[in-house]
A and B are shown apart, each in its own frame.
Chain A
């Protein structure tokens, strides 16, 4: 492991890569801060740029953007009560009341320190867990992978949108259907192209991500600009107050951070769960643990109430890298986007990654530490200035997002068919978002579609067309049993949930 750490440090500490982490953290913070735009959008916008670099540098840039965007989301939660990402909703419960009391600077500092501690602790957990899990996952065979992908897709559908399991499953199927367009990987037979040459190579992953996130988010912001529910209640963005944290507040954070980082990391490792559930669970757990006097402060500007979700959501970000790096199966929508980018680089994540491409494997882990330090150094002193970005008029912001999305696609294909396709997918996605159809399951399914078909093909061919491979191995059977339990439980809940009124 020491050798790996040294390889990672050597790669991550080159001038170019440090610069990339800094740029990633900075732009990620800015993009993540803008309400409605989350880490997935931030990373999606960066993908075309990363193709100019080697895989390690590209991934380091994206990891920096990811952390920056999560922190940026907390800033808009605290200052505007408008979480940039679902993972920072719980941050607003106590962060916004604190800002309303004139302690916005302090709230942002608590969020920054908690994010830093949560991210750093979980990167240490990742350091120990990822290589051991990689060794275990070497024993996985095609049926296990196929079952694991089914579980991952079902889990993300189950957790991505409360009470909307069937909608999320429909999005999973739609993502797999989109992935099936183009040439079959084995026989080269074209499918669903309707004799259109532009579809022969399939639909580009970047196109789908840009359309369903960047572009559709921009359109949603315009569509809902008069919605009274989304009108921000303003906290002064120029006078944020002191960013100093006193001894009593520090003592509270010392207790909250370790336990929230553990829960955040473990939830992040689970396929589909991610930062949102981690932050809510950490918030709920913290509320149950603290004494009655402190419990009363929850929802009114509690330090514990702010520190717990902030620690957990950053810890979950690192946790979600575990299944992606070790199994090649992303644990969240954001890591699905990163997996897609990795595949674009020609790198196949999975148990062999740390043997075949150790510099990528270890440099990502090492860049997490560096990213956390840079995020803290960058954000603490710059908080008062960064906060002013929230005042950028949407009239400029939206066209610029559309411009970056369209340019990102255009420079990849120099083809206007892709622009039309992107607009079409974005319009459908915007409409579906209005009715709460979640997009992360679609992206995860789109990324996994090819791998899933490949593993199913191998499993069926090896078992001579028999479906017995699903229960032949105990591991496969256990994974599928878990999946079935999730499906049955959610359908049962939908059928027997009493409607109000």
Chain B
């Protein structure tokens, strides 16, 4: 069976709008505001209905411009690896510090994208991040917490 993915996305958006609308009705407003012409839940409620309306229309109307994506040519594996690396980067940046995590993030991203010129990879990760960090921390005075550099005594 051929499933039109655009319709599936529209259906997901329809469900999301329904959930949004339900949550909008749950917003707690002050008692004196309950029957006011406009309170904190008014606008979100309209948005919820608008979401249901447009996604509903997309679901029921014909789709003359169906988008056909050639999944076989798409690089899902490398994209997924890159996303995972970014998540790991996010998870470690506060504990390990900016310098080491960012350098490793860049180095591993080059590697997983198929790069093997080690010297260039190194130059565009560790020294590059060090220079960038100096620009942020030293020149623009933006404080960057870095437990790793503090532990080896590079940063105060």
Chain B residues with Cβ under 8 A from A170's Cβ?
10, 13, 51, 54-55, 58
Q: Are B74 and A224 in contact (CB under 8 A)?
A: yes
Q: Does B147 contact A (CB under 8 A)?
A: no
> In this complex, what residue of B is CB-closest to A404?
B132
Q: Mark A394-431, 1 if CB is under 8 A from B, else 0.
A: 11101110110011001100101001100100010010
The answer to whether A461 touches B144 (Cβ under 8 A) is: no
Of A89-97, A116-124, A346-354, A432-440, the segment with at least 4 beta carbons within 8 Å of chain B is A432-440
Report B75 CB to chain A, min CB distance, Å.
5
Asked if B17 and A173 sit within 8 Å, CB to CB, the answer is yes
In the bound complex, do residue B140 and residue A52 qualify as a contact, i.e. CB atoms below 8 Å apart? yes
CB-defined contacts of B5 to chain A, threshold 8 Å: 435
A438–B145 Cα distance when bound, in Å, is: 37
Q: Which residues of B contact A403 (CB under 8 A)?
A: 102, 105-106
Are the CB atoms of A416 and B93 closer together than 8 Å?
Answer: yes
**Size bracket, chain A contacts:** 35 or more
Asked if B127 is at the interface (CB within 8 A of a chain A CB), the reply is no
Q: What is the CB-to-nearest-CB distance from B96 to chain A, in angstroms, rounded to a whole number?
A: 11
Contact B93 A419 (CB under 8 A): yes
Chain A residues, Cβ within 8 Å of B10: 170
A251 part of interface (Cβ distance < 8 Å)? no
Write out the residue numbers on chain B whose beta carbons fall within 8 Å of the beta carbon of A169: 54
Complex CA gap A379/B87 in Å reads 39
CB–CB B37/A464 < 8 A: yes
B90 touches A420 (CB 8 A): yes
Interface string of B15-52 (1 = CB under 8 A from A): 00100100110011110010011111111100100110
- Judged by a CB distance under 8 angstroms, whether A465 is at the interface is yes
- Give the interface size class of chain B: 35 or more
Main secondary structure on chain B at its contact with chain A? helix
How many Å lie between the Cα of A453 and that of B24 in the bound state? 14
Within 8 A of B (CB), among A129-165: 162-164
Residues in B whose Cβ lies below 8 Å from that of A189? 27-30, 40
Interface stretch (choices A6-14, A369-377, A492-500): A492-500
- Once bound together, how far apart are the Cα atoms of A423 and B132, in whole Å? 22
* A177: Cβ under 8 A from any B Cβ: yes
Decide if B61 touches A166 in the complex (CB within 8 Å): yes
Which residue of chain A has its CB nearest to the CB of B135?
A49
In the bound complex, residues from chain A placing their C-beta under 8 Å from that of B27 are: 189, 191
Contact partner, B110, options A191, A399, A427, Cβ 8 Å: A399
Are A177 and B47 also in contact (CB < 8 A) when A166-B57, A435-B9 are?
yes
CB of B82 within 8 A of chain A? Answer: yes
A290 contacts partner chain B, Cβ-Cβ < 8 Å: no
Q: Are the C-beta atoms of A394 and B47 separated by less than 8 Å?
A: no
A219 touches B90 (CB 8 A): no
Q: What is the minimal beta-carbon distance from B156 to any residue of chain A, in angstroms? A: 18
Contact of A226 among B36, B38, B73 (CB under 8 A): B73
Option from B40, B57, B109 in Cβ contact (under 8 Å) with A187: B40
| The 3 residue pairs across chains A and B that have the minimum distance between CB atoms | A465-B37, A399-B109, A419-B90
Residues of B that sit less than 8 Å from A by CB: 5-6, 9-10, 13, 17, 20, 23-24, 27-30, 33, 36-44, 47, 50-51, 54-55, 57-58, 61-62, 64-65, 67, 69-70, 73-76, 78-79, 82-83, 86-87, 89-91, 93-94, 98, 102, 105-106, 109-110, 113-115, 120, 124, 132, 136, 140, 142, 144-145
Using a CB–CB cutoff of 8 Å, the interface residues on chain A facing chain B are: 52, 162-164, 166-167, 169-170, 173-174, 176-177, 180, 184, 186-187, 189, 191-192, 219, 222-228, 393-396, 398-400, 402-403, 406-407, 410-411, 414, 416, 419-420, 423, 427, 430, 432, 434-437, 452-453, 456-457, 460-461, 463-465, 491, 494-495, 497-500
